[in-house]
């Protein structure tokens, strides 16, 4: 038992060290010329543009459900507070739900894709081939993905925020028949720029976590199709856990320092 725990802990620490090294390598290679332009734009499209439908659906339903739940709860408990629904939806979405739901969706969609692609390249010796053709795999494969993730995630999060607030409004006006001006007024009054900013800062970190861990797991892949499946699963689980962990850390840092 002790041996098991010890081995797992050692494993974990080793992996943490390896990921840190990979991060260092990635940062170093980001400034190396020539910049892998084509791969970068490809990844922007893959991680960002192609994720718009799934992000849109997640956002609009989150906003709508949130408005519905809080709206009826307010009506039932404290009469006359329902116009605060606008503010509640806006704050919950920009501070917390927008960044985290968006990140989890992208982890499932793009993170798994990155691990599966790099993992397949690993087991079919394409990574070795890159090296024999004088290309640095970190520079060629990881830099474009990580950079795309760090740029795209805040944009997707902003998109999520807007769509979710819009979804909340739709429900508030059409389903619950709330007063429009009051709703918008509470939204604008309660929401501050720093709420949105904090959410976006989180999403930059989430973008880094998704692409870096996904690439790392891809590079570690061993043993054919089964290995690719295993590392893809492990990648998504690791990404989601680390997102939740860092969400807590960042929230406590950001709320105490601003």
Q: With the CA atoms of 104, 106, 107 and 113 taken in that order, what torsion angle do they form, in degrees rounded to the nearest 10?
A: 160
Task: Give the range of 69-77, 119-127, 171-179, 213-221 binding another protein by CB under 8 A.
Answer: 119-127
Query: Site residues for another protein, window 178-237 (CB under 8 A)?
Result: none
- How far, in Å, CA of 94 to CA of 97, rounded? 7
Options 51-59, 117-125, 178-186, 235-243: segment touching another protein (CB under 8 A)? 117-125
Under the binding rule (CB under 8 A), the answer on residue 3 touching another protein is: no
Taking the complex as a whole, how short is the minimal distance between the CB of residue 42 and another protein, in angstroms? 8
Least distance in angstroms from the C-beta of 136 to another protein: 9
**How many residues bind to another protein according to rule CB under 8 A?**
14
CB of residue 117 to another protein, shortest distance in Å:
8
In the bound state with another protein, the residue whose beta carbon lies nearer, of 94 and 232, is 232
Q: Which is nearer to another protein, 69 or 126 (CB)?
A: 126
Of 66 and 142, which CB lies nearer to another protein in the complex structure?
A: 142
> Nearest Cα to 155, choosing from 55, 255, 30, 40?
55
Q: Which is nearer to another protein, 2 or 133 (CB)?
A: 133
- Smallest CA-to-CA distance from 167 within 21, 52, 66, 255 is with 66
Shortest reach from residue 224's CB to another protein, in Å: 11
With the CA atoms of 236, 62, 198 and 217 taken in that order, what torsion angle do they form, in degrees rounded to the nearest 10?
10
Which residue stretch of 55-63, 118-126, 228-236, 245-253 sits at the interface with another protein (rule: CB under 8 A)? 118-126
For another protein, the closer of residues 132 and 256 by Cβ is 132
List Cβ<8 Å contacts ≥24 apart for 188-197: 189/87, 190/84, 190/86, 190/87, 190/88, 190/90, 190/91, 191/87, 191/90, 191/91, 191/94, 194/258, 195/90, 195/91, 195/94, 195/95, 196/94, 196/158, 196/161
**In whole angstroms, how large is the CA radius of gyration of the chain?**
21
Kindly tell me which of 9 and 124 has the beta carbon lying closer to another protein: 124
**Which residues, 121 to 140, sit near another protein by CB under 8 A?**
121, 124-126, 128-135, 140
Six-digit token string for 47: 């991680």
State which of positions 30-49 bind another protein (CB under 8 A).
34
Taking CA atoms, 115 is separated from 155, 224, 228, in Å, by: 22, 13, 8
Q: How far is the CB of 251 from another protein (least distance, A)?
A: 38
| Residue 96 vs residues 27, 52, 91, 195: alpha-carbon distances, Å | 28, 19, 8, 9
DSSP H or E run through 170: helix 143-170
Considering the complex, state which of residue 3 and residue 79 has its C-beta at the smaller distance from another protein: 3
Residues that bind another protein (CB under 8 A): 34, 121, 124-126, 128-135, 140
């Amino acid at each position: 038992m002790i041996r098991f725990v010890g081995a797992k802990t050692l494993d974990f620490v080793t992996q943490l060290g390896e990921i840190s090294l990979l991060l260092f390598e990635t940062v170093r290679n980001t400034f190396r010329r020539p910049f892998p332009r084509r791969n970068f734009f490809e990844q922007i499209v893959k991680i960002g543009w192609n994720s718009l439908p799934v992000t849109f659906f997640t956002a609009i339903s989150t906003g709508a459900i949130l408005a519905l739940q809080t709206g009826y709860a307010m009506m039932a408990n404290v009469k006359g507070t329902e116009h605060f629904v606008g503010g509640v939806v806006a704050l919950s979405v920009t501070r917390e739900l927008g960044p985290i739901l968006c990140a989890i969706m992208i982890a499932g969609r793009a993170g798994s894709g990155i691990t599966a692609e790099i993992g397949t390249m690993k087991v079919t010796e394409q990574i070795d081939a890159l090296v024999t053709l004088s290309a640095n795999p970190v520079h060629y494969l990881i830099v474009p993905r990580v950079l795309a993730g760090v740029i795209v995630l805040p944009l997707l999060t902003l998109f999520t925020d807007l769509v979710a607030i819009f979804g909340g409004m739709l429900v508030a006006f059409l389903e619950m028949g709330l007063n429009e001006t009051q709703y918008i007024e509470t939204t604008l009054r309660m929401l501050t720029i720093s709420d949105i900013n904090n959410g976006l800062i989180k999403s930059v970190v989430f973008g880094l976590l998704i692409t870096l861990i996904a690439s790392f797991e891809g590079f570690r892949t061993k043993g054919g199709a089964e290995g690719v499946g295993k590392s893809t699963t492990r990648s998504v689980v690791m990404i989601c856990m680390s997102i939740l962990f860092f969400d807590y850390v960042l929230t406590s840092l950001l709320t105490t320092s601003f």
